Amino acid sequence: VRENQSTAIEFLLLGIAGQSKEEEVIFGMFLWMYLVTVCGNLLIILAISCDPHLHTPMYFFLANLSSVDICFSSVTVPKALVNYMLGIKTISYTECMTQIYFFITFINMDGFLLSVMAYDRYVAICHPLHYTMMMRPRLCVLLVAISWAITNLHALLHTLLMVRLTFCSHNAMHHFFCDPYPILKLSCSDTFINDITAFTVGGLTSITPFTCITVSYGYILSNVLKFPSIQGIRKALSTCGSHLTVVSLFYGAILGVYMHPSSTYSVQDMVATAFFTVVTPMVNPFIYSLRNRDVKGALRKLMCRRLTSSRFYN
């Protein structure tokens, strides 16, 4: 007989590895990557904030992306680190549902910001003379605000559908956070509505930004090929290289994990989830800073300013 649990149920997060030595290695890696993620993205935000030359739509969106990446990692990694340090593997029902809500919000926000950034690159390359008029500050703020509204409503829908489920006595999963798909596999209830919603609404909120990115770069490519010189083509494409790299890393993992039923969620999916949850937010600031002269220049100015001020006080 299956035993349904109350809303006070706890879930067991068994982690990725089963042995203690492997867990120690993973703990060290997660801690290092989380610190790099927070520090790297904070540097990008500070550099953009302090340099007036970077107060443009492109870097406004990049600063928002860095903020979201910090929040995205902070939803899952700190809890996993604390659990390991305290020697516990449990997470309460309320914490789990909260984690699911913010996980869905920030992962979709990443996609929407990447699509808005693709549109920004399209306007900059295909309509350079009208860029200032088309990418007005009000429009930029409105695009980000609409993205936040859509992602929060989407997360609320999935969380409310998750709350209506009941869970059996078997509540352990090999994961380091409350990923929606493994949680659905633990439910005693019929998850058909959840799966259908994930395919329709979830698919729509994932595919729509991806389609916008694809269409934007389709127009960019067709426009760039009309340039008379190879140097002009290289210059135009160089402004898109960082963004395309981030898009490939993000969607390469997410589409492979969540575009199939929850019942087929496997160990490979868990590893892919760990990749775009921990690794992608960490490498994003490196990709943008190493491939972008403006960001590198702003970071140098920021470092020089800090060094000068520290010498002055000493």
Domains of the chain, by residue range, sit at 10-312
- How much of the chain, in percent, has pLDDT values that exceed 70? 85
The C-alpha atoms of residue 49 and residue 210 are separated, in whole angstroms, by 28
Read off the DSSP letter of residue 304.
H
d(CA 214, CA 306) in angstroms, rounded, equals 40
Average pLDDT over residues 241-258: 77
**Gap between the Cα atoms of 224 and 234, Å rounded:** 9
- Tell me the CA distances in angstroms from 278 to 15, 249, 270, 283, one per residue in order: 14, 12, 12, 9
Q: Tell me: the pLDDT tens digits for 166-190?
A: 887 678 888 889 988 888 888 888 8
What is the structure's pLDDT at 148? 97
Residue 92's nearest CA partner among 73, 79, 106, 107 is 79
Least confident piece of the model among 68-77, 108-117, 255-264:
255-264
Distance between CA 281 and CA 275 in Å, rounded? 9
Q: Which is higher by pLDDT, 265 or 201?
A: 201
> Which of the listed ranges 19-33, 115-129, 284-298 does the model predict with the highest average pLDDT?
115-129
Residue with token string 């990557």: 33
Contact 159, 136 (CB under 8 A): no
φ and ψ at residue 144, rounded to 5 degrees: -70, -40
List the single range of 8-12, 43-47, 79-83, 135-139 with lowest mean pLDDT: 8-12
- In the CATH hierarchy, which fold is given to the domain comprising 10-312? Rhopdopsin 7-helix transmembrane proteins (1.20.1070)
Under the banding of pLDDT at 50, 70 and 90, the label for residue 5 is: very low
Question: What's the angle, vertex CA 154, arms to CA 272 and CA 83, rounded to 5?
Answer: 50
Query: For residues 170 and 194, which has the higher predicted lDDT (pLDDT)?
Result: 194
In the chain, the amino acid numbered 161 is L
- Predicted confidence (pLDDT) per residue in 83-114, tens digit: 888 888 889 999 999 999 999 999 999 999 99
Element (H, E) at 71: helix 57-86
Give the whole-angstrom CA distance, residue 73 versus residue 70: 5
